[in-house]
Structure 1
Amino acid sequence: MDPEHAKPVEILLVEDSPGDVELTREALADSKLLNRLYVVEDGEEALDFLRRKGRFAHAVRPDVVLLDLNLPRRDGREVLEEIKGDPELKAIPVVVLTTSRADEDILRTYQLHANCYITKPVDLNQFFAVVKSVENFWFSVVKLPPKNGDAL
């Protein structure tokens, strides 16, 4: 196995829909890449996880964040703005994965420096295909930033 891929890819999924969490988990479980999926259900938990606060004090730094926009407590737009405004977190790629097709959501998330915007398909097979394409692109094609974010 390639040494670069010997370590699991750490993925933070910020999603409040149990069905979408399970579908994402199933799609990633079928992966050829070793990965670990961490799930939080709202924006507050996402920021606590990323900042290692409270019950997430020992959380890993994710290699990528899969972020839904429509979340309880603190929505995905606010979470994205916090991540990209924080010098310690801004290098972590954020993939917006949401049901919204609204042009204003797409524009706003890119203005907030999302790395990409993907609309969740309703069809089960298409959903699996989207998760697989995200996985393939972000973990096989793209070179991710180092964990400390500051190494040059």
Structure 2
Amino acid sequence: MVDDQASRPIEILLVEDSPSDANLTIKGFLNARIANNLHWVEDGESAMNYLREQGEFANALRPDLILLDLNLPGMDGREVLTEIKSDPNLKSIPVIVITTSNDEQDILRSYHLSANCYVTKPIDVFQFIQVLQLIKDFWLIAVTLPRN
């Protein structure tokens, strides 16, 4: 890990409407023992309010990494991804699409919308924990994240 990354926790925004998946993700990152602050919102509107520091999120810290589910109520993950990547102030934040969909059109569209990677959630809990470990190993240890 680069020294400036070690100086403060990594800010992660989890956009996930399933409380069970969100809790599993939160526990997975807690067990990873990497200094991070994981913030969870349940829908696309809340995600955009968080990212734009609006309303209840007026004091939110800019995330270093976003974990985004595609199938959200209201504003779905595709719309959130479109807004993030078209906003000059947000587009440098890496977005990992993590979803149950393995539909080729969802995969292609996510990459066309500039997702940084696309991960299909495994059904098995132990495989899901392994996926979180891989995300941690790559995105929180190997990669130098932008810090703006």
User: After TM superposition, where is structure 1 displaced by more than 4 Å over at least 4 residues in a row?
Assistant: none
Cα shift at 1:108: 0.2
TM-score by length of 2: 0.96
Counterparts of 1:72 and 1:32, CA distance in 2: 31
SS of residue matched to 2:32: coil
Gapped runs of 5+ residues in structure 1?
Answer: 148-152
Question: Is residue 9–residue 63 contact of structure 1 (8 Å, CA) maintained in 2?
Answer: yes
Size of the aligned set, in residue pairs, is 147
Cα shift at 1:6: 3.4
* 1:141 paired residue number: 142
What are the residue-to-residue correspondences of 1:32-47 with 2, within 5 Å? 32-47=33-48
Counterparts of 1:42 and 1:4, CA distance in 2: 28
In the alignment, residue 109 of structure 1 is paired with which amino acid? S
Aligned Cα RMSD in Å?
1.2
TM-score by length of 1: 0.94
Task: Point out which structure has higher relative CO (alpha carbons under 8 A, 6+ apart).
Answer: 2
Cα shift at 1:3: 5.5
In the alignment, residue 114 of structure 2 is paired with which amino acid? H
* 2:126 paired residue number: 125
Cα shift at 1:146: 2.2
How far does the alpha carbon of each residue in 1:81-140 deviate from its partner, in whole angstroms, 9 at most, with x for none?
A: 000000000000000000000000000000000000000001011000101111110111
Aligned-residue sequence identity (percent) comes to 55
